C-alpha cells in the first residue's frame, strides 16, 4: 500500500500520532513515561518545536506540534524515536521494532480546529475509559492548560491565550470547552485525518494551503479522469 504524503509546514499546528507495533505497549511503568517525556522535552527544545498539547497512553501517544521549519518536527520525532527504542529494548531485555511504522500527522486549520484538536487530545484517556474526567489523568497537557500544574513541555498556542485576558479566565474557558465534549463526527474526522495524513480545515483554508505546496490537499473529484479524444 502506498504511503500517504506527509505534509509538514512551518508555523502551522500538526496533529501527530505514534502507535506501538501491533498496538503493543510503548510504556510499561512510570520510569518509561518519564523517559519518553524527558526526550520530548529535550528534542522539542533543541529543534524549537512548540508542543501545544499532548497525551501519553500505554500503547500510543498524540501531540499537537507547531514546527518552525519544514524539517524540525521530523528531526524531533526521529531523535526521540531512536533514543527511546534503544532505552526501552535495553531496559526490558527485548529487541526489534517498537513503533507501528513512522509517526502520522495532519496539518490543522488553527482558526477553526485548534481548540477542538486540543480537546480531542486531552479527552483521549476519557474516551479510552481510563478515567472519568480529563483532570484525573496525569500524562497529558490538560492540567497545565487549566492551571492545576506547571508543565515545562507545553507551549500554549496563541489561540489558547486568546481565550481570556487573565490566566484564570483562559484556564476556566478551556476547562469549560473540554467539559462540553466533542461530537462523534468530529472525533471520527480528527482520527481519520491524522491516520490518512489529511489536512483538517475549512474549504477556503484548504484552497489557500494548496497554493503553497505541491502535495495534493484538495479532495480528488469522483469518477475517471477525463481524456481528450484522439
pLDDT at 229 over 50: no
Which pLDDT score, from 0 to 100, does residue 228 have?
46
Give the lowest-confidence range in 19-28, 42-51, 147-156, 192-201.
Answer: 192-201
Rounded to two decimals, the pTM is 0.90
Beta bridge partners of 65: 14, 51
Average pLDDT over residues 66-74: 96
pLDDT at 56 over 60: yes
Alpha helix stretches (DSSP H) within 17-147: 30-46, 72-91, 110-122, 124-127, 142-145
Output Rg (C-alpha) for the chain, integer angstroms: 18
Average pLDDT over residues 44-55: 98
Between residues 222 and 89, which one has the greater pLDDT? Answer: 89
Which pLDDT score, from 0 to 100, does residue 2 have?
47
Measuring CA to CA, which residue among 106, 138, 131, 135 is closest to residue 119? 135
- d(Cα 79, Cα 213) in Å, to the nearest integer? 26
Which pLDDT score, from 0 to 100, does residue 4 have?
54
Q: Are 109 and 135 in contact (CB under 8 A)?
A: no
Give the lowest-confidence range in 125-139, 141-155, 205-219.
Answer: 205-219
Amino acid at each position: 500500500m502506498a504511503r500517504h504524503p506527509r505534509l509538514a509546514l512551518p508555523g502551522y499546528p500538526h496533529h501527530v500520532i505514534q502507535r506501538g507495533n501491533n498496538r503493543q505497549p510503548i510504556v510499561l511503568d512510570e520510569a518509561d513515561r518519564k523517559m519518553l517525556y524527558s526526550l520530548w522535552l529535550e528534542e522539542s527544545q533543541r529543534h524549537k518545536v512548540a508542543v501545544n498539547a499532548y497525551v501519553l497512553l500505554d500503547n500510543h501517544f498524540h501531540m499537537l506540534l507547531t514546527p518552525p521549519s519544514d524539517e524540525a518536527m521530523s528531526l524531533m520525532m526521529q531523535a526521540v524515536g531512536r533514543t527511546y527504542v534503544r532505552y526501552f529494548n535495553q531496559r526490558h531485555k527485548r529487541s526489534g521494532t517498537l513503533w507501528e511504522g513512522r509517526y502520522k500527522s495532519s496539518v490543522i486549520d488553527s482558526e477553526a480546529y485548534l481548540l477542538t484538536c486540543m480537546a480531542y487530545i486531552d479527552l483521549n484517556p476519557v474516551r479510552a475509559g481510563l478515567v472519568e474526567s480529563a483532570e484525573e489523568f496525569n500524562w497529558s497537557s490538560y492540567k497545565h492548560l487549566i492551571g492545576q500544574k506547571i508543565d515545562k513541555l507545553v507551549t500554549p498556542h496563541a489561540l489558547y491565550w486568546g481565550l481570556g485576558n487573565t490566566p484564570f479566565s483562559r484556564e476556566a474557558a478551556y476547562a469549560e470547552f473540554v467539559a462540553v465534549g466533542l461530537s462523534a463526527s468530529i472525533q471520527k474526522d480528527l482520527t481519520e485525518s491524522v491516520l490518512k495524513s489529511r489536512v483538517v480545515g475549512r474549504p477556503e483554508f484548504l484552497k489557500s494551503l494548496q497554493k503553497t505546496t505541491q502535495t495534493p490537499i484538495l479532495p480528488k473529484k469522483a469518477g475517471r479522469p477525463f481524456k481528450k479524444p484522439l
